[in-house]
Amino acid sequence: MATADAAAVDAGLRAYMLRVYNWMASGLLLTGIVALAVVSVPALQALFYQAVPLASGRVVMQPTILFWVAALSPLAFILVLSFGYNRLSKTTAQALFWVFCVCMGASLSNLAFRYTGASIATTFFITAAMYASVSLYGYTTKTDLTKMGSFMMMGLIGLIIAGLVNMFMQSSALQFAISVIGVVVFVGLTAYDTQRIKADYIEHAYAEGTEEAGKRSVMDALGLYLNFINLFQMLLHLTGVRQSE
């Protein structure tokens, strides 16, 4: 009987993790499509960027107010999803996730004006390979990553503070340090979050098709999605080839 129960939990866990990764991958795909559309479709580009000619004859793309709305809105979505979780329906949580991914795509479109397309593509595939390996480790390891997760969260707070400071200092050395530490932090958080999601499912065994399972899978996908996006940006800061180079 115990063996049958364990097999049922294991099968449910695999199905649940697959659903989480499907949400995450779908969100990344939507983000990429929106970013490409904003850069490629003139009518959309005009909504988010304004071409400004410089004295040197070079033209730079300056973000519009709508861009900053899109860039800042994901924080609001995260707060609503996190603190309003118990009051949200599954459908509302899913809709907010999709809108969040659209806003992220619009805000990440500026990377296309700063880095070459080849370096963005290369960095994306490097990020995907690294992320898959680390997430697999988090899923399969028997080592408890709780302490590491707490340490990485402290590192994340430090990164946010350092990033705010560097907005005023504009130090390339500090930005390099932030990127290097950021890679370590988000690699660690990816392994920790994967293990946490697995442990949460084993503890609660969300029934397939229930409202709770639907909402929880979206929230877990959001956490993994954010780790991927941040890891990608940190790696791009380190390895990306800038347009002006």
Instruction: Chunk the chain into consecutive blocks of 10 residues (it has 245) and report each block's average pLDDT, rounded to whole numbers.
Output: 62 88 96 95 93 79 92 88 86 93 94 92 94 95 92 91 87 90 94 93 73 87 95 93 75
pTM for this structure?
0.91
The answer to whether residues 190 and 174 touch, using CB atoms and an 8 Å cutoff, is no
In one-letter notation, the amino acid at residue 230 is N
Residue 82 to residues 87, 116, 120, 210, 218, Cα–Cα distance (Å): 10, 35, 30, 19, 11
Residue 34 to residues 48, 94, 146, 170, Cα–Cα distance (Å): 12, 18, 35, 29
**What is the rounded distance in angstroms from the CA atom of residue 84 to the CA atom of residue 86?**
6
Q: Where are the domains of the chain?
A: 2-239
Q: Which two tokens stand for residue 98?
A: 């999709």
Residue 207 is predicted with a pLDDT of 63
Neighbours of 182 (CB within 10 A): 22
Residue 19 is predicted with a pLDDT of 93
Spatial neighbors of 21 by CB under 8 A, at least 6 apart, are: 221, 224
The stretches of 41-171 forming alpha helices (DSSP H) are 42-48, 65-83, 90-108, 111-114, 117-140, 146-169
Residue 5 is predicted with a pLDDT of 60
**What is the rounded distance in angstroms from the CA atom of residue 90 to the CA atom of residue 23?**
13
Residue 244 is predicted with a pLDDT of 67
SS3 of residue 179 by DSSP = helix
Residue 64 is predicted with a pLDDT of 93
Dihedral sign from CA coordinates of 101, 30, 38, 171: positive
Residue 214 is predicted with a pLDDT of 84
